[in-house]
Structure 1
Amino acid sequence: MSGSGLAGDSRAEWKAHWPVVLAACSGVAASTINTYSTGVFMQPLQEEFGWSRAGIVSGSTMAGVATILLAPFCGALVDRVGPRRIGIVGVTLSCGLTALLSTVGPSLLSWQGVWLCLALINVMILPNVWTAAVSSVFAAGRGLALAITLCGSGISSIITPILAVHLIDMLGWRHAYIALAGLCGLLVLPLLFMCFRSARDTPTYTRATTQRQSADLADARTILISRHFLQLALATILIASVIVPIGTMLVPILSSRGLERGTAAGIAALMGIASISGRLLIGHLLDRVNARLIAAVAVCLPIIACLLLISFPGAPIAATLAVLCAGLALGAELDIVAYLASRYFSLERFGLAFGTLAGIVTLGGMGLGPLALSTIFDQMHSYVPALWAGVPMCMASSILFWRLGPYPEEEGLKG
């Protein structure tokens, strides 16, 4: 097909389906409010209950472990019943449980108990739920549509930390959790009810499509043990264990490096702007440049961020540059993984493949990474050793992405 034909198809897709992208973007944003608020709530929780930082992030660690265990099943369910019902129910329950965090304490077990419930719900709002709907209605414009959808996490990373700081200052941390959950529900759920639909929810979706998906999903084990999937999974967990914890724990990291908490929150907000910019740039490039090359370069950006944070403590300019580098990488990471999943595996397998990879991102980004980061700080009273550890992890991830090999040439070879 000619370039003008692709552009025309893309314009037609956007004209017909832009509300789906808007709703999916809001769903992605809703799925990250706890991720980007935990670092802000950490100090009030420590002051009131004396919990360690590792103890506080143990809740999100449980969410990460539960997600990687349940993600393949939820991904297969998305492929079978469609993302609309799963996404709406997931956001509703997630908002309710976020509000329930206001009731925890003084026992750490109460905090971990609510997070365990959040862990079970988290698989219903993973990125594969939102990207499955978008991928089903976009073909020519899929790269940009996926990028804009996943910008929801960047928008959340801009708004959530600053909003959480103000809510805590005005209402106290308990009522701040309730307000945060309420605002999320009021803004996101109406959009999901009105606009969030996939190809499955259209009259052209046929029984034959359902039967074909069921047949394809029968070889799930083959997908999950394939070289491409295992290599993608290892590259993904390495970079996620570095970049997502840096993003979610940015306020305490910057504060520990000598910046005042308010200044740290303001600089941290730039990460969201950078991640959105990175996503839009990547979305534009993915259909034009080999995604393996983009991935290999993008996952090296956190190395620059780590070295700047280590070398220039308390320097706002260095911190700003570090945040911008980290934000660009954060924006590129999930977009690249989603695109690669759609190229190495057929769309009928997308929910399973990308759902499991998104679970791996959660395991590394919300589970193992923050726990390791906080444990190192508790033991050494510094994040510097953890930042040094991120350098070889990013290098290894870069090599793994580059060594994935060419895309399968025919649909029948995928998986």
Structure 2
Amino acid sequence: MSTLETATVKEANEEHENSGQEWRKHYRLVVAALLGIGLGLSPLPYYTLIVLSEPLMAEFGWTRGNVFGALFFITLGIFVTSPIVGYFTDNFGARRTALVSIALFAFFFFLFSFMQGNLTVFYGIFFLMSVFGAGTLPVTFTRAINNNFESSRGLALGVALMGTGVTGFFITDMTQLWIDEYGWRRTFQILAMLPIFISLPVAYFWFRDPKEEKALSLNSRMDMSVVKGMTFVDALKDWRLHVIGVSFLFIGAAIAGTIPNVKFLLQDQGYTAQMSASRFIGVGLIGLSVLLGRGLGGFLVDKFWAPGVAFFMLILPAVSCLIFLQGTNPIWLNVLAIAFLGIAAGVEYDLMAFLVSRYFGMKAYGRVYGVLYAMFAIGAGLAPGLFGSVRDKTGSYDTILVLAAGLVFVGALMLLTIGKYRRFDTFGHFVKTSE
């Protein structure tokens, strides 16, 4: 065996060994992140509102546009709060931010059970829930993952972010079951208890970041002099940040706009409410596909250039939109379209976290991620209501599906322009560009 081959084998063995050590030391951190994200602001309101929308429309006389317009107020709250949450995460630690936010998120979710049909109240609760629950977004949990995983960072992010897929896979059927059994008010209360009795205690005991704890000084603020990466100001001046932001805005709008309306797209083809919410044929299948996207995407970005992986995985929803444009489809074709949506939804958050760590470092990770997430949230929050409004006014989703397909393709293409990964010293200077 040549010297080069020997070195390559040695390097591969060392990488495998390092990966194993990372998982043995920090698997509890990943589990806590999985549950915290899965029962947080990112998936829970979106997936459950798909099912809860029908009893709300029936009881209060609301339209689809009224109900899904609430997601705009989640967007507004996230847009305002994400950079602030990033600041607290960077300066006071992800664990503290997450614990407080989980409790507040559950409190505001519980308040939905007392609604009396006032849209202003409905929207107001969504806004406050997103403001005070923003610490349950991936920005807090992924910081700790990035801090403690290097060799298998992509896979660890993928597993942690599988929480959204687990939620999506189980929660739509469970929500429909609870509505049928107890009514929509009690269902909101049950959903609010999930983070209180599951993710909060697990996060309290297992969501601990040794590097974060070391960086926290006696006055409870992070010592940023020991953290590598670009400053927030320098990151804002970097054109790559703007390209990534616009890309995720487009992609977020297309994917998040389509997913909440999948149930109605299927019902327009003659599916029953139960079939369209099913985890094997309907909306619930998205959750299973998200799991696949998380695992596959995380594995691939550890092995290949992440923007290239992103391009091929994030254009899948464009195919989904084209399938739905055909009108009445055989079941297998609708299943394929839903699976493509879920796979892309499964890879978007971990790609965002991975790109921030590789192109901007960890010094201002929370704030940089917060800015990108806010951009993503603009599209993700506005699109569902827009989809519903177009359907209400035209009787068809065709126009908006064409637009969504175009946005996905352009957004994925933009990511191919951002170049190679970068490495930093403590002061944010580039020390090496990977090949």
Partner SS, residue 331 of structure 1: helix
Of residues 12, 24, 37, the one that matches 1:28 is 37
CA contact (8 A) 2:358 2:423 kept: no
Displacement of 1:289: 0.8
Question: Partners of 2:128 and 2:214 in 1: how far apart?
Answer: 36
Match of 1:9 in 2: 18
Counterpart Cα distance in 2 of 1:368 and 1:169? 30
Q: Does 1:67 align with 2:78?
A: yes
Quote the Cα distance in structure 1 between the aligned partners of 2:94 and 2:213: 13
Which runs of structure 2 are paired with 1:287-306 in the superposition (5 Å)?
Answer: 287-306=302-321
**Pairs within 5 Å for 1:310-321:** 310-313=325-328, 315-321=330-336
Contact 1:98 1:181 in 2 (8 A): yes
Which residue of 1 is the match for residue 269 of structure 2? 257
* 1:34-183 → structure 2 map (5 Å cutoff): 34-183=45-194
CA–CA distance in structure 1, aligned partners of residues 414 and 334 of structure 2:
29
Equivalent pair of 1:154/1:271 in contact (CA under 8 Å): yes
Superposition map of 1:362-401 within 5 A? 362-365=377-380, 367-401=381-415
User: Which structure is higher in helix share?
Assistant: 1
Scaled by the length of structure 2, the TM-score of the pair is: 0.90
Give 2:205's match in structure 1, choosing from 189, 194, 219.
194
Report the Cα offset of residue 166 of structure 1: 0.6
Mapped to 1, the partners of 2:341 and 2:15 lie a distance apart of 33
Structure 2: where are the runs of 5+ without partners? Answer: 1-9, 431-435
Q: Which amino acid aligns with 1:27?
A: G
Deviations 1:342-383 (A, max 9, x none): 111111221111122122222221x11112111111211222
Q: State the match for 1:276 in structure 2.
A: 291
Deviating beyond 3 angstroms after TM superposition, the runs of 4 or more aligned structure 1 residues are 200-209, 213-217, 409-414
Structure 1 residue 231 displacement after superposition: 0.2
Higher deviation after alignment, 202-211 or 84-93 = 202-211
Pick one of 316, 323, 346 that aligns with 2:338. 323
* Distance across 2 between alignment mates of 1:128 and 1:300: 24
Does residue 223 (structure 1) correspond to residue 235 (structure 2)? The answer is yes
Give the partner amino acid of 1:64.
T
| 1:221–1:284 distance in 2 versus 1, CA, 3 Å | same
- Post-superposition CA distance 1:46-88 (Å, at most 9, x none): 1111112222222220120221122112112101111111111
AA paired with 2:81? L
TM-score, with length taken from structure 1: 0.94
Note the C-alpha offset of 1:93.
1.0
Determine what percentage of the aligned residue pairs are the same residue.
25
**Letter of the structure 2 residue corresponding to residue 47 of structure 1:** A
Residues 259-303 of structure 1, C-alpha deviations (whole Å, 9 max, x = no match): 111111112212111111111111111121111111111111001
User: Which letter does structure 1 place at the counterpart of 2:33?
Assistant: A
Give secondary structure in 2 for the equivalent of 1:15: helix
Per the TM alignment, residue 200 of structure 1 is displaced from its structure 2 partner at its CA by: 4.6
How far apart are residue 407 of structure 1 and its match?
Answer: 2.3
Structure 1: where are the runs of 5+ without partners? none
Higher Cα radius of gyration:
2
CA apart distance, 1:23: 0.4
Q: What residue number does 1:339 align with?
A: 354
Q: Which residue of 2 aligns with 1:350?
A: 365
Deviations 1:154-202 (A, max 9, x none): 1111111111111111011111100111133212212111101123554
In 2, Cα distance between equivalents of 1:392 and 1:282: 22
Taking the aligned partners of 1:343 and 1:373, their CA distance within structure 2 comes to: 34
- Alpha-carbon distance change, 225 to 59 in structure 1, aligned in 2, over 3 angstroms: farther
Cα RMSD between the aligned structures? 2.2
Instruction: Output the CA distance in 2 between the equivalents of 1:223 and 1:385.
Output: 37
Q: Would the alpha carbon gap of residues 214 and 139 (structure 1) be closer, same or farther in structure 2, given more than 3 Å must change?
A: closer
